[in-house]
Amino acid sequence: MLGPGTSSSASHCNPIRWVLKGVYFHCANEKNNGYELSSLLSTYGKNINSELNIFLALPIEVTNQGPLIHGGVAFLRGTVSSIRALDWGLMNHELAHNLGNGHSFDGTRNCLDAPKLEFDWDENCDGIISNSEKQRRCWIKTPPSDPICNLAPTCPNFPCCLDDFIDNNVVGNNPQRNAWTNCQIKSAIEHIADYKCEFIQQVGGNCPPASSVVTRSPIEDTKESHCSYCFEIDGSSNYDQYKIEIYNNSNPTNPILLKTVGWLSRGAKRFCIGGTNLSNTWQDGMLPGVPYLIKLIVKNDCGEDVNSYPFILPNRTCSVSGPSSDKKFELRVSPNPAFNNAVIHYELDNSYETKVMVSHPLFSSFNYVASPLQIQELGNYDISIPVSSFFPGINVVILYVNNSIYTETFIKQ
């Protein structure tokens, strides 16, 4: 922490590490000009006895003069906070309140090694400090080139031109909010030990624990037609590999495993259930109206974590009119023409169910499977095919992506 005469200016150990445990989507039908924290907690709170809830919502405080908008709010020593934008400094600030630390600049201050860093400044250079010129604070450092930092010799320069008055404390009045004092760390640890032991995910270790998150975006449930049924899994964190399992959940006490996908390398974004062909049936014999369960298992060197999401598939109403003109997935074949070997290249911008085949318009029985039906993640793919055994002339590469078909031709010499 910056500031004159403080023992906190030296670096020290901060053993607190935040671990993302879950990402939840909430959808409200009415337009709202802001949310009180107590309302967010009572309406949307999740696992409030074991997880700190951070809402990305416009936080307001109801006053006699009307709603007061804040950048962020938190219940001091509580389990919930709200921020208006995804800003790490702001999030750190509110989480520090949840762990028992009040502002370093007002009456909630609980650590004296976090100085207020206030100053009086004779702004109009009249030799008198008025009330409006007392107890000021810096938000950010003023650039030294600013004229206010180079006033006449008889007038005091603006204190915010100096590092000594720039506060970067986690509960200070500043945009960085990244420095903790010894007292603040001790206060937070004592608060965790006394009130939040059940919130601790892990003590020690060489890596943070893996965290699995699988859910659905509310916009997915508003669709009127369903060619695919997708889950959001990119909220998972601290993992190296992941695996997906689909169960028939008609009997929740004894679910039946239907399908396993994985282990796959990290970078998961979405997982979609589609159809194996252009009919209105779901893949793997799955049926609408039947309870299912998806499990996402993630792991790293520290261990595994599992998260589940129950779901019921709707009727599959799929209308496929051919390749989309705006998303070809960069499908191409090289060399073209080809004689012995060729490479099929395509690029995926998300997680999809894919299959790659080669056919020949004159030989209907020829259907070469270059890549079987599978879930593939975002990335570029190159598949080598032995074209020496293919029929000569024009061959057609067929790329199935979820419910759509994309084609490219090449000549076999």
Provide the CATH number for the domain around residue 237: 2.60.40.10
Classify residue 398: in a domain, yes or no: yes
What is the DSSP track for 153-196? TTSPPPGGGSGGG---BTTSSSS---B--HHHHHHHHHHHHHH-
What is the DSSP track for 277-309? SSSS--GGG--TT-EEEEEEEEEETTEEEEEEE
* Residues 341, 298 share a domain: no
* Residues 391, 345 share a domain: yes
Question: Rounded distance, CA 129 to CA 199, Å?
Answer: 49
* Residues 100, 49 share a domain: yes
Q: How far is CA 265 from CA 299, 378, 380, 381, in A?
A: 10, 11, 14, 15
Question: Rounded distance, CA 343 to CA 385, Å?
Answer: 6
Classify residue 133: in a domain, yes or no: no
Q: Are 344 and 382 in contact (CB under 8 A)?
A: yes
Burial class (CB in 10 A: 0-12, 13-18, 19+), 203: exposed
Cis, peptide link before residue 337, omega less than 30° from 0: yes
* Residues 173, 79 share a domain: yes
pLDDT of the chain, 413 residues: tens digit per residue: 344 334 444 566 777 878 777 777 777 766 677 889 998 999 889 888 888 999 998 888 888 887 888 889 999 899 999 998 888 888 899 999 999 999 888 767 788 887 778 889 988 888 888 898 888 888 888 988 898 888 877 788 898 988 888 888 899 878 878 888 888 998 999 998 888 888 887 666 677 788 888 888 776 766 666 677 888 887 788 888 888 899 999 999 999 999 887 787 766 677 877 764 455 678 778 899 999 999 999 998 888 999 999 999 988 776 544 334 334 677 888 888 888 888 898 888 777 888 898 988 787 788 899 998 888 877 778 888 999 889 888 888 888 887 677 778 888 88
* Residues 345, 294 share a domain: no
Classify residue 290: in a domain, yes or no: yes
Classify residue 155: in a domain, yes or no: no
* Residues 63, 23 share a domain: yes
Q: For position 182, what pLDDT does the model report?
A: 86
Q: For position 8, what pLDDT does the model report?
A: 44
* Residues 187, 58 share a domain: yes
Question: Rounded distance, CA 137 to CA 114, Å?
Answer: 14
Of the residues 279, 312, 345, which one is the last residue of a structural domain? 312
Number of independent structural domains in the chain? 3
Q: For position 347, what pLDDT does the model report?
A: 82
* Residues 228, 357 share a domain: no
Q: For position 319, what pLDDT does the model report?
A: 53
Q: What kind and span of H or E run contains 221? A: helix 218-221
- Best CA proximity match to 397, nearest among 383, 386, 408: 408
* Residues 408, 337 share a domain: yes
* Residues 97, 12 share a domain: yes
* Residues 266, 372 share a domain: no
Q: 40 lies in which domain range?
A: 7-117+167-199
Rounded to the nearest 5°, which phi and psi values hold at 362?
-95, -10
Q: How far is CA 196 from CA 29, 162, 192, 204, 229, in A?
A: 34, 39, 4, 17, 38
Q: For position 210, what pLDDT does the model report?
A: 84
Classify residue 132: in a domain, yes or no: no
Classify residue 134: in a domain, yes or no: no
Classify residue 296: in a domain, yes or no: yes
Classify residue 138: in a domain, yes or no: no
Question: Rounded distance, CA 357 to CA 395, Å?
Answer: 10
Residue 399 belongs to a domain with what CATH number? 2.60.40.3880
* Residues 179, 36 share a domain: yes
Residue matched to tokens 């997708």 = 230
Question: Rounded distance, CA 213 to CA 20, Å?
Answer: 9
